[in-house]
Chains A and B, each alone.
Chain A
């Protein structure tokens, strides 16, 4: 295209390039539009280079000034795409313009005008050139555009040494041969086309060959193997399998709802932040939690299972009691009530000795009056209770709080008490002021202190010794000062034990929950308990006696069930042996039972009637032996017998008869000759003539020739050689087509197909149809393997 441009430019004034249309120059409309832009640029360049071409510019101007014409021209251009590109380039602009005009809705006049002007102005500058037409106007004179035609110009088209574009004389080129006759050309085309298609088709050869040779073709060929998803097969969830899944996945991705990194990074960071020890601890903690939860669940389940009414009754009572205890301190429902009380207390401020009434009472010494005194005491008690409530701990759970707090409280209490004491002293000598009361108070204080100490120690060392210290059966009561041996003592002791254990367990639980420092130590405890659990799981659960007295009471059936404990690998040798013995014993027992039963049954056994009636005879054996000998060994005797028999059947002479019969059949079935010459024919003088020339003998084929008989060498056997015509139905008269010989054909019949004679596998293989299609599936056309 580019090459031809110059030429076009020179000749465009004459015509719009219609004169010679090269097929190669034909372009589609869209391409043409594209080219316009490029051409515009080149044009601009070219115009800047050679300013001589004026007529062209004139043309442009003229065209730009006349819109309708340009439109018409544009139409022309649209019709024939091979038209001059320069024209096109300018028309491009107008086209936009005209388009705009055509749809007047979106006219941006200013912009278009400016555009137009900008596009037109440029050439305008260069246009101002005078063309001096020196030649006279003549019909033979052509406008030269200011150029003069030189000889070299003319030769340029001819001589390749001058111009590259010369085409008229080319040294290399030869005379173009005359085109081939059409049919020969077509023949060549066909041959080539055939070669091409052959090549194309030969790519299929292997596939076709393979399919032809295949014993069984299963359609669809190469089905997708579908694995059944089950619990045993795992699959990553990330990859969508079904169409719907992929669709949803795509939508989610587009809407950026899935952040693939999000989860992963979170996990990664969490793990990455931790040290290995920390990780270990965390996992341990988690494991412990899980274990505890599991145990709790188990326990709950076990307890839930208990059906004893009595037990439930007792449990219920206990629960109620606990509830009552709890209710005393924190009852959300009574919050309002509490507020009311508080308000009342504020109003009254009865609970302190600072109130006016109390002060006056003390001052006036009225406190020694019994009624006043009781009121005061009541007030103080109330105050104390309220204070406790204000501090936030409930009555029952005080001990759960930190010991230091308790101590503080205690100390504070002591301070208070001192004050109280002072008050009390002031109040006068009541019962509280009495010696024994003081002593008792002192003792209780001491005990409290001791307990506090213990608790402190406990907190520090985690020493559970004190709880594990089992109280003896001896019940020591402080006041009585002597030991009392009672059966109830042991019961009490059990109770205490139970409580202790519960406390221990609770502590353990607490420790497990907290999981602060003493992981290793507690692990032992937990592990032990775990093992215990396992054993409990593996065998029938043996209920702990001390946990539930009612369970042990009702454990008789469960103990029975223990007899049928499953003995697994983990169970000890002893238990295994025990189980074996038990089994044997039970078996024996059963056997005995069965035998007894059988014995009973046998009285009315019908089978007995069918039983063998054995016949025993002493003399039988000897006789038998004689017989046995008689068969083989006693030759002399046998010989005699044989002779005797021969004699006995001598009259029949069966053998000879048989021989005669055989001979007869042989003769009958043999080929025969028949003399067909007419007697007396050709004889003129009696039968004296030696050899007749014309002897007509007809040979009649028999069943089988004498020497070819199957029973030729067989003694005492006649085999019928006649063809069984009924059997012929089941024989083929010739070798069937694909086979060449009888042997080949019979080889193919060698193996029976029926499942009676072959294995199932073979039978199925041999009876499988050549083409198997799966119903309900789309069978795609054959795919070429080369793609």
Chain B
């Protein structure tokens, strides 16, 4: 037990949670940061602000009223994985029981599933062309499509109003009513879809071996990255830094950002092809399953393998919940693992079997204690106690949002959209000073050259100056010298203007500053 904090002191229990890394931060020497008095005062002020902010943030913990609870065994002999769904169901409240449901769709399966970001809507994609968007809590169907075409993957975009479907050849975008909005013809043969919500990037990968980033807010294809590793087996995003993790058939996982043509990192995780990847919410851990029946837990901060598990059959689908539960599914089985990032586990947290079916995709529902499973015979949802984040931030994601809130949230998200260029392995690097030596560092001008130099040249508007041997001149030459008519006057005036423009341009090119207008802008027009 920590001693109770003094009244009015800066310290408050729970401030450590909000502390930012001190790694790059200078320590003050003898109460001074710098010899400069003003700077010192400024830094001191900043420091106090930081402390106050921590304190205030810790104070808001009071508002997080909900708690996550897990299944707990009464005695060491009792195992939580022995609780069946029907056992749990008897103890559950009616509301939660209502959330558990099953859809029997044996014809068009197996089913890919996806939940909208706030967990309100469920998107089902049967491989034989059945796509359905459902408000699953109400049991209301948003839309249902029979595409008569192979559906490889489905994905909601920033909210439930749009979703992308990776079909046989192209990737399509539909709206909530099921209207086809776009056919993304650049995304050919994609089998995997993901969406970066803060960058509005739809990421596709597939048999072509390309990873493509498509900005859905502007409609531009941001980048196409060639993996050179054959068909991509798995594709997941790291929610912390928006780096895409792609699993390949040679057992490597490569990390991609849209602004780098080469992978940011490569990890050899399995001896056979990678079957699926899962990354936890904080971007600290990655779980990779391989066709060699291995399941590896990686620490992404250190790029080190933490644990190595063995699955009897290669895992088909992995997912990590907000609270850090890992779901592993293979064949008809689904196991959920708890505390897998802390220590090596011997027993799963929960266990489930869908008889005579094959699990295709299992995903935790955001903010709910429910795991949705798409399998060959349809869809079923399981109650996994403690899977959902109990306290949601309604400003960020609101599971109970109204239409107005959703619309406003969309606008806000678009205004706060991040540029794809900001994606990097360490997002904290933005705004900091480039650590490399001065010699390598680019000058401010050079950065401009790199980023927009080429475009600027294209877009530059040149004054239309004709060559010296213009038609006007020709005309003047032809006409008799001493006849002055209206046309000649006009021609002369035009020639004069041309000459001036030419001179101006010449001067500009040479970098000679322009003569000051003696009369000033108001009078110069009477020249």
A727 adjacent to B259 (CB under 8 Å): yes
B303 adjacent to A711 (CB under 8 Å): yes
Q: A719 to B292: give the CA distance in the assembly, Å.
A: 24
A614 adjacent to B442 (CB under 8 Å): no
- Chain A min CB distance to B352 (Å): 9
A720 adjacent to B262 (CB under 8 Å): yes
Judge if A633 is at the interface, Cβ distance under 8 Å: yes
Interchain Cβ contacts under 8 Å between A and B, 21 examples: A213-B41, A611-B101, A612-B97, A620-B353, A624-B81, A624-B82, A628-B348, A631-B346, A632-B347, A638-B310, A646-B271, A652-B250, A652-B271, A718-B265, A724-B259, A724-B424, A727-B430, A728-B447, A733-B444, A756-B395, A759-B57
Given contacts A610-B101, A649-B292, A747-B46, contact A728 B271 (CB under 8 A): no
Interface mask (A593-613 → B, CB under 8 Å = 1, otherwise 0): 000000000000011011111
- Chain B min CB distance to A743 (Å): 3
Known: A613-B104, A717-B266, A730-B431. 8 other contacts (CB 8 A): A624-B333, A631-B310, A645-B271, A711-B303, A714-B303, A718-B267, A747-B24, A762-B56
* A-facing residues in B67-92 (Cβ within 8 Å): 81-82, 84-86, 89
Which residue of chain A has its CB nearest to the CB of B303?
A717
B49 adjacent to A607 (CB under 8 Å): no
A654 adjacent to B250 (CB under 8 Å): yes
- Chain B min CB distance to A647 (Å): 11
* B-facing residues in A719-750 (Cβ within 8 Å): 719-720, 722-735, 738-750
Which residue of chain B has its CB nearest to the CB of A645?
B292
A739 proximity list for chain B (CB < 8 A): 39
Interface residue stretch chosen among B433-441, B457-465, B508-516: B433-441
B101 proximity list for chain A (CB < 8 A): 610-612
A751 adjacent to B50 (CB under 8 Å): yes
B441 adjacent to A628 (CB under 8 Å): no
A611 adjacent to B98 (CB under 8 Å): yes
Given contacts A611-B98, A758-B56, contact A731 B39 (CB under 8 A): no
Judge if A697 is at the interface, Cβ distance under 8 Å: no
* A-facing residues in B181-217 (Cβ within 8 Å): none
Given contacts A642-B310, A738-B42, A751-B49, contact A609 B139 (CB under 8 A): yes
Which residue of chain B has its CB nearest to the CB of A701?
B440
- Chain A min CB distance to B372 (Å): 14
Judge if B60 is at the interface, Cβ distance under 8 Å: yes
Which residue of chain A has its CB nearest to the CB of B352?
A624
- Chain B min CB distance to A151 (Å): 78
The 5 closest A-B pairs by CB, nearest first: A743-B26, A726-B259, A716-B268, A632-B346, A726-B421
A758 adjacent to B267 (CB under 8 Å): no
Judge if B257 is at the interface, Cβ distance under 8 Å: yes
* A-facing residues in B5-52 (Cβ within 8 Å): 20, 24-26, 33-34, 36, 38-39, 41-43, 45-47, 49-50, 52
Given contacts A620-B353, A628-B81, A719-B265, contact A732 B43 (CB under 8 A): no
Given contacts A720-B263, A733-B434, contact A744 B33 (CB under 8 A): yes
- Chain B min CB distance to A30 (Å): 57
Judge if A761 is at the interface, Cβ distance under 8 Å: yes
A633 adjacent to B257 (CB under 8 Å): no
- Chain B min CB distance to A756 (Å): 7
Q: A765 to B508: give the CA distance in the assembly, Å.
A: 49
A765 proximity list for chain B (CB < 8 A): 49, 52
A748 adjacent to B43 (CB under 8 Å): yes
Judge if A449 is at the interface, Cβ distance under 8 Å: no
B310 proximity list for chain A (CB < 8 A): 631, 638, 641-642
Count B-side interface residues using an 8 Å CB cutoff: 96
Judge if A657 is at the interface, Cβ distance under 8 Å: yes
B312 proximity list for chain A (CB < 8 A): 627, 630-631, 641
Judge if B269 is at the interface, Cβ distance under 8 Å: yes
B346 adjacent to A633 (CB under 8 Å): yes
Interface mask (A318-342 → B, CB under 8 Å = 1, otherwise 0): 0000000000000000000000000
Judge if A192 is at the interface, Cβ distance under 8 Å: no
B49 adjacent to A614 (CB under 8 Å): no
- Chain B min CB distance to A735 (Å): 6
Q: A726 to B261: give the CA distance in the assembly, Å.
A: 11
Among A633, A723, A762: residue with most chain B CB under 10 A: A762
Judge if B252 is at the interface, Cβ distance under 8 Å: yes
* B-facing residues in A634-679 (Cβ within 8 Å): 638, 641-642, 645-646, 648-649, 652, 654-655, 657-658, 661
B26 adjacent to A658 (CB under 8 Å): no
Interface mask (B332-375 → A, CB under 8 Å = 1, otherwise 0): 01010000000001111001011100000000000000000000
B89 adjacent to A720 (CB under 8 Å): no
- Chain B min CB distance to A770 (Å): 13
A41 proximity list for chain B (CB < 8 A): none
A609 proximity list for chain B (CB < 8 A): 139
Given contacts A727-B430, A746-B433, contact A762 B303 (CB under 8 A): no
Judge if A766 is at the interface, Cβ distance under 8 Å: yes
Among A641, A734, A747: residue with most chain B CB under 10 A: A747
Binding site for A on B (CB under 8 A): 20, 24-26, 33-34, 36, 38-39, 41-43, 45-47, 49-50, 52-53, 56-57, 59-60, 81-82, 84-86, 89, 97-98, 100-102, 104, 139, 250-252, 257, 259-260, 262-272, 292-294, 302-305, 309-312, 333, 335, 345-348, 351, 353-355, 393, 395-396, 421-422, 424, 429-436, 440-444, 447, 450-451
Judge if A173 is at the interface, Cβ distance under 8 Å: no
Binding site for B on A (CB under 8 A): 213, 215, 606-607, 609-617, 620-621, 623-624, 627-628, 630-633, 638, 641-642, 645-646, 648-649, 652, 654-655, 657-658, 661, 711, 714-720, 722-735, 738-751, 755-756, 758-759, 761-762, 765-766
- Chain B min CB distance to A605 (Å): 11
Given contacts A616-B86, A638-B310, A723-B436, contact A740 B292 (CB under 8 A): no
- Chain A min CB distance to B49 (Å): 7
- Partner among A725, A732, A755 whose Cβ is within 8 Å of the Cβ of B450: A725
- Partner among A620, A714, A715, A741 whose Cβ is within 8 Å of the Cβ of B26: A741
A747 adjacent to B139 (CB under 8 Å): no
A727 proximity list for chain B (CB < 8 A): 259, 421-422, 424, 429-430
- Partner among B34, B139, B353 whose Cβ is within 8 Å of the Cβ of A740: B34
B43 adjacent to A744 (CB under 8 Å): yes
Q: A668 to B97: give the CA distance in the assembly, Å.
A: 59
Given contacts A648-B292, A759-B59, contact A606 B348 (CB under 8 A): no
A631 adjacent to B303 (CB under 8 Å): no
- Chain B min CB distance to A642 (Å): 7
B447 proximity list for chain A (CB < 8 A): 728-729, 733
- Partner among B41, B84, B393, B431 whose Cβ is within 8 Å of the Cβ of A731: B431
Q: A732 to B24: give the CA distance in the assembly, Å.
A: 15
Q: A722 to B26: give the CA distance in the assembly, Å.
A: 27
A718 proximity list for chain B (CB < 8 A): 265-267
- Chain B min CB distance to A171 (Å): 59
Q: A762 to B81: give the CA distance in the assembly, Å.
A: 45
Which residue of chain A has its CB nearest to the CB of B59?
A759
Q: A750 to B430: give the CA distance in the assembly, Å.
A: 12
Given contacts A728-B434, A758-B53, A766-B49, contact A614 B42 (CB under 8 A): no
B271 adjacent to A617 (CB under 8 Å): no
Given contacts A610-B101, A748-B46, contact A649 B272 (CB under 8 A): yes
- Chain A min CB distance to B188 (Å): 26
B309 adjacent to A750 (CB under 8 Å): no
Which residue of chain A has its CB nearest to the CB of B27?
A743
B59 adjacent to A624 (CB under 8 Å): no
- Chain A min CB distance to B288 (Å): 11
A621 proximity list for chain B (CB < 8 A): 82, 84
A654 adjacent to B271 (CB under 8 Å): yes
A610 adjacent to B351 (CB under 8 Å): no
A606 adjacent to B25 (CB under 8 Å): no
- Chain A min CB distance to B124 (Å): 14
Given contacts A716-B268, A716-B269, contact A747 B25 (CB under 8 A): yes
Given contacts A719-B264, A726-B259, contact A742 B433 (CB under 8 A): yes
Q: A654 to B39: give the CA distance in the assembly, Å.
A: 56
